[in-house]
A and B are shown apart, each in its own frame.
Chain A
Amino acid sequence: MNPFSSELWSPYVVGAGIGVLLWLGFLLSNKAIGCSTAYARTSGMAEKFVRGDKVKDKPYYKKFIPEIDWEWMLVLGIVVGALISSLLSGSFRIEMVPQVWENTFGSSQILRFAGALIGGLLLGFGARMAGGCTSGHGISGTSQLSLGSWLAFLFFFIGGILTALIIYGGI
């Protein structure tokens, strides 16, 4: 079978591949892979567009300057990579309401979009408070044996599992 057209690969192959990408990030760019600071930077760029240069004076944006950087390009690359993968495997399709959501909340698109917006808001806020996300803490940080990252990884999943069991699991 042609591996480029098979929809799902072994999770061990995928995981090992992601591990190798971590090596490449360190080796070629001296960077640890992560995604959530790109959101903070983009948010700052959007705010700068609306409110002008005074946004730069916000202390948080002095730490994370609103500009396109290595990690921002990485996140952009993810969109393109996933698009290429799903086109090659034939799994690309327009999805308005995912199946597991529909099983619990029905097929209303507005409800799903609102849920995604609220979920995203919590994710964006929580990631910045915790200092990283599933990739920055969960994969890169844990691989570097950072104590805070292992703690973050644990609490991402504690919060996620409990919430999922309550809202989709009917507990």
Chain B
Amino acid sequence: MPADVMLDSKLPTGPIETRWDERRFSLKLVNPTNKRKYKVIIVGSGLAGGAAAASLGELGYNVECFAYQDSPRRAHSIAAQGGINAAKNYRNDGDSIFRLFYDTVKGGDFRARESNVYRLAQVSVEIIDQCVAQGVPFAREYGGLLDTRSFGGAQVSRTFYARGQTGQQLLLGAYQALERQIRAGTVKMFSRTEMLDLVLVDGRARGIVVRDLITGEIRTHMADAVVLGTGGYGNVFYLSTNAMGSNATAIWRAHKRGALFANPCFTQIHPTCIPVSGSHQSKLTLMSESLRNDGRVWVPKKIGDNRPPDQIPEDDRDYFLERKYPSFGNLVPRDVASRNAKEVCDQGRGVGPGGRGVYLDFADSIARLGEDVIRQRYGNLFDMYENITDDNPYKMPMRIYPAVHYTMGGLWVDYNLMSTIPGMFVIGEANFSDHGANRLGASALMQGLADGYFVLPSTIGDFLANAGPDPMTPDVPEARATEAEVRDNVKKLLSIRGDRTVDSLHRELGQTMWDYCGMARNDAGLRKALDRIPELRQEFWSSINVPGEEGGLNQSLERAGRVADFMELAELMCIDALHRTESCGGHFREESQTPEGEAQRDDENFSYVAAWQYSGNCSEPVLHKEPLTFEYVHPTQRSYK
């Protein structure tokens, strides 16, 4: 059993408006001339990791940054379409830092920390300034000032955007800042290099073991602090909107070394994705939820109505969101829209091959506004849909279905973004901190950049200043031992030579997770998954075939290592989902719903962060609870009727 941990969230007190300021003032500073004596490792180069590496480099720290892709510009932050929220109130429509804070706490269904969310809303304003100065080409009004739009059901217009490529443009801003530091020599970039384990010395994070994906070399890098900005773990479901390489290995390895994993079952399902077309499917494609502004969602009223959509008369259609939620209609939040699509498909009224799809129909909008207006608004999305499905959405309704999109859970961090392992910080989607049980649209980019540009660069200095510079080589026994374990694991994966491919087992794991730990969960289903996952793990370790060798580029080996970790993480997600018998946000327990079928929270018993500790056996994690208190936003039942 690992040593017991005490959860100290280091939350500030006092009026919420001044908490971040006061914290920053109380943090110790590193003398500017001493900064270069501290080495900081950053794993991941997306919005969080890239922004952090650039900012720490600018401050003068000695930074090493790692990415499994061939360039920091590939990180999956690049695929975010919609935009980034900021409380600028440029529209004079009543927005404020407090309102963004309020909306985020409420949208997260009261499972996030108030202090963290308030800081996020404060920092949002500086992010826009920074990105504009970097040359991010945000959309502009004719007068030359920044344009904003209303997004994801927000009642104010606070979302800044660059067409449907906001994530790309923000990432390129961070990437360019990072390349500038690489040139300046403050950051050393290691592309095509994957972190495979964390090195602890005297209980403190002191380095990482990596595999050079080109040569296959396994080696250790040491540092004064380690930062993980490695993204989410949605690929545990096999099919998701994540990139093919997105994985949980870094955070899972850190978890097994002692970092607590918080709210692992909180996953977000995005309602508007292109449905699965066959067993060959390798990933799911998301289409911006702005489509729901002009599209109407429906399915046939009758089970087994196989007529083409244009031959189904109005009377035989069920516009189920408009029927059930007259005031929000097709614009209900993501979790509500997703669950309702599942419900009608479970009833046998789904459309398209396999019956897992609902129509998103633009016929009324085209009749009202004309095809040109619709083309202007959504042309690129319509083209993308047609390219993938070979259907023309101007003539036929789109078919959509929900898909796994984002994971709110992640490694537990305190207010300073440090995990339960001293010296290891976690930023962006990889941590659990700001979105509670449900993330609002256009808030992921905001959080990644807030952590990377502004929060971490302030808080990490305090840790380093207290620790003092302490260079260490990889020759210490702790590093040698961890490296040996990594080598053994790689050898083991290569030695099985069975008759199953890694992908086929990953697909089975994903299907199990989707069926029992997806959009709706119940006691019996989760128990079934918990029986099945250890069997799959057993099968994985006895029957996979990983061709090739340890040396050189071996993509099968890379995948095998990542799937091995998903096989363990999946079990923790189900254990967490089983223990949380309430519904909240993206976590819908069928046993806990209102008479109208909405998520029913249980604040009396579950108003806490569930932080799980690895016990040495992944079937028996130890639960620690961080109670949540709400002084400013009082928990209410969400209602979108």
Do A and B originate from a single complex?
no
